[in-house]
Amino acid sequence: MADRQSRPASRTPMTLRTEVRREDGEVIRDIVSSTGLFRPDEISIAVELLEERLRAGLAGGYHFIFAEREGRVLGYCCYGPVPLTLHSYDLYWIAVRKEAQGTGIGKILLERSETAIGELGGRKIYIETSSKEMYRKTRRFYERCGYLAEATLREFYSPGDDKVIYVKSIADKKEVGKL
C-alpha cells in the first residue's frame, strides 16, 4: 500500500501487519518515546498492552496493526472492544515515529483499524486524548478523520489537563440503508 502524499524518500511501499512479535515491545517503546508527548509511565502502559496480547492472545482484547517500510516499523495502533458493551471499541494507541509524522501513515493506520473494527462488529470507536496544547495537532487529526469531540472531562489527568473523548460511528454500508 503506497502513500500518495509521501515525501519523496518514502516512496517505498508500506506494509501493514497484525501479527505481534516479542520484539515489538521495544519497537513500541521507541515509537511512543520518539513523539515527545508521553510520560515514562504512559510509555510503559503502551508496552504492557502488547505484553498482555502476547500472554493472552486475542482473548486479552488487544488488537494491533503495525506499519512497516523497508523492514522498519514506522507506526502502530492498538484497539479493542470496550468491556461490557456490544459494539463499542476503544482506539487505545496510535503513534507514528516523530520523523515519519505528516506522511499519511497515521491516517492509513486509523482507516485500517476502522475497517478491522467494523469487520469485528464494531459500530462506535472511542478515542481519548489530552486537552493540553501539545496535543492540539492530535485532536485536529482525529477531527479531520471524522471523529467528533463528544465529551470533555475537566482536569481528568491533572489540573489544567482535561480528557477529550472523541467518537465516530461506523456501520456496514448494508446497514446504513436500514437505519
pLDDT at residue number 7: 44
Residue 2 pLDDT greater than 70, yes or no = no
Q: Label residue 6 by pLDDT band (50, 70, 90).
A: very low
Res. 157 pLDDT band, cuts 50 70 90: very high
Query: Where is pLDDT greater, at 4 or 55?
Result: 55
- Parallel, antiparallel, or unpaired: how do β-strands 124-130 and 88-96 relate? parallel
Q: In terms of Cα–Cα distance, which of 40, 28, 140, 30 is closest to 92?
A: 28
| Whole-number percent of the chain with pLDDT over 70 | 90
Give the chain as a 3 state SS string.
Answer: CCCCCCCHHHCCCEEEECCCCCCHHHHHHHHHHHCCCCCHHHHHHHHHHHHHHHHHHHHHCCEEEEEEECCEEEEEEEEEECCCCCCEEEEEEEEECHHHCCCCHHHHHHHHHHHHHHHCCCCEEEEEEECCHHHHHHHHHHHHCCCEEEEEEEEEEECCEEEEEEEEECCCHHHHCCC
Does residue 125 form part of some domain?
A: yes
- Domain assignment present for residue 65? The answer is yes
Residue 2: inside a domain, yes or no? no
User: Is residue 170 one of the residues assigned to a domain?
Assistant: yes
**Mean pLDDT estimate for the chain:** 91
62 near 24, Cβ under 8 Å?
A: no
What contacts 155, CB < 8 A, 6 or more positions away? 161, 162
* pLDDT for residue 172: 56
Domain encompassing residue 60: 8-176
For 16-55, the pLDDT digits (tens) are 999 999 999 999 999 999 999 999 999 999 999 999 999 9
Q: Output the pLDDT for position 171.
A: 78
- Residue 125 CA to residue 147 CA, distance in Å, equals 9
Q: Is residue 141 part of a domain?
A: yes
- Please check whether residue 81 is in contact with residue 88, taking contact to mean a CB–CB distance below 8 angstroms: yes
User: In whole angstroms, what is the distance from residue 88 CA to residue 124 CA?
Assistant: 5
**Share above pLDDT 90 across residues of the chain, in percent, rounded to a whole number:** 88
pLDDT top residue among 171 and 74: 74
Evaluate if residue 169 carries a pLDDT over 50: yes
Contacts of 134 (CB under 8 A, 6+ apart): 37
In-domain check, residue 82? yes
Q: What is the pLDDT of residues 93-141, one digit of tens each?
A: 999 999 999 999 999 999 999 999 999 999 999 999 999 999 999 999 9
Q: What is the pLDDT of residue 10?
A: 52
With respect to residue 131, please indicate whether it lies within any of the assigned structural domains. Answer: yes
Counting the structural domains of the chain, the total is 1
Contact 135, 129 (CB under 8 A): yes
CATH number for the domain that contains residue 100: 3.40.630.30
Q: Is residue 151 part of a domain?
A: yes
